[in-house]
Amino acid sequence: MNMSRVYNFSAGPSMLPESILRKAAAEITDYNGSGQSVMEMSHRSKIYEEIIFGAEKLMRQVYGVPDNYKILFLQGGASTQFAAVPLNLLNGSGKADYVLSGQFSTKAYKEAQKYGDVKAVASSKEDNFTHIPDLDKAAFTPDADYFHICFNNTIYGTRWSYIPDTGDVPLVADISSCFLSEPLDISKFGVVYGGAQKNVAPAGLTIVIVREDLLGKARDITPAMLDWKLAADNDSMYNTPPCWSIYMCKLVLEWLRDEIGGMENMKKINERKAALLYAYLDQSKLFRNPVLPRDRSVMNVTFVTGSDELNAKFVSEAAAAGLVNLKGHRSVGGMRASIYNAMPEEGVKKLVDFMEKFEKANS
Ligand SMILES: *Cc1c(COP(=O)(O)O)cnc(C)c1O
């Protein structure tokens, strides 16, 4: 790794593989002999079509997206999809179920409440979101238009260890912070969506993967820009797409395929990184991970000392050592190491070494 680069543990935007940053840099003024940067290209040009259709095809191959699902390259972040989900789906019974497992799922729930009869069927709020709530099927709404979960809770460092069975009710999942981190059986979901800036590309791109039979149910009032069917019918080019981020997404997918060797390998690497950190935390006398072990995230690892002062000291000394953005989310405090796909194993080892030294010096 280039010595001037730091290990960035930010929850997002986050690190991108250095090799693709170099590739993008090499192509920045002249993409593939076109005499133009991707940033300057018409999205209606042949050369750009190769990029966007290439990214779509690669996503299908690398992530195993079934043929009866559309992949949409949109904008507005996962937060815009909190409204787009009800505006596209809440049009049958007008009812939907939400599981509250953290801040983003709660935001999604509040947004959906503007549009219909939306119920929270489970919540772990009273336990400070330190686990995924247990589900009671008797509480589910049998005729709901959909059932919503957040698959990896970025702020609290929890993740679903299984895909809930919602029967005929389409399961919709925010996968922003675990996108492309491990193999995912997309056929178990009606819709998955996420902002790209955690694991997939720079900020600006939002990806929605939707089963085809769920298209065409949008409400009359749904803004054209939020209508998934309109996006699908126009190959994600109803208006100008986030051209550069889609290009970077294609490079990330090539990296996953060629350098990592696919999703199974990515999962193994990610699990190794997380295991290193959790093993250290579990034996540490200074640091502690507050999450129920069953539900620990592989992507976002939260930890605390007993003291706000020591937490702050840790974050600033770590930054001075080239381990940056380890401060926890402002709503929970403490520390958080986001160790997405592009965080090298070396970075996690350096973090654990640093934590050991810090523990010795401060006990
Ligand atoms: C980051 C994040 C969001 C918010 O994403 P934006 O793209 O900034 O709107 C929503 N959900 C989850 C799970 C996230 O990690």
Q: What is the pLDDT along the chain (363 residues), one digit of tens a residue?
A: 555 899 999 999 999 999 999 999 999 999 999 999 999 999 999 999 999 999 999 999 999 999 999 999 999 999 999 999 999 999 999 999 999 999 999 999 999 999 999 999 999 999 999 999 999 999 999 999 999 999 999 999 999 999 999 999 999 999 999 999 999 999 999 999 999 999 999 999 999 999 999 999 999 999 999 999 999 999 999 999 999 999 999 999 999 999 999 999 999 999 999 999 999 999 999 999 999 999 999 999 999 998 999 999 999 999 999 999 999 998 888 999 999 999 999 999 999 999 999 999 998
Give me the pLDDT at residue 3, please. 58
CA of 176 to the centre of ligand 1 (A): 6
Residue whose CA is closest, atom 1 of ligand 1? 176
CA distance 178 to 318: 25
- Which tokens go with 40? 């300057």
Which atom from ligand 1 is nearest to the alpha carbon of 104?
A: 11
Could you give the dihedral angle defined by the CA atoms of residues 244, 104, 150 and 154, in that order, rounded to the nearest 10 degrees?
70
Quote the tokens at residue 299. Answer: 């992507």
Given the CA of residue 152, which atom of ligand 1 is nearest to it? 13
Distance 78 CA to ligand 1 centre (A): 5
Contact 180, 199 (CB under 8 A): yes
From the CA of 197, give the closest atom in ligand 1.
Answer: 7
How many helices (H) and strands (E) the chain has is answered by: 9, 13
* Cβ of 150 below 6 Å from ligand 1: yes
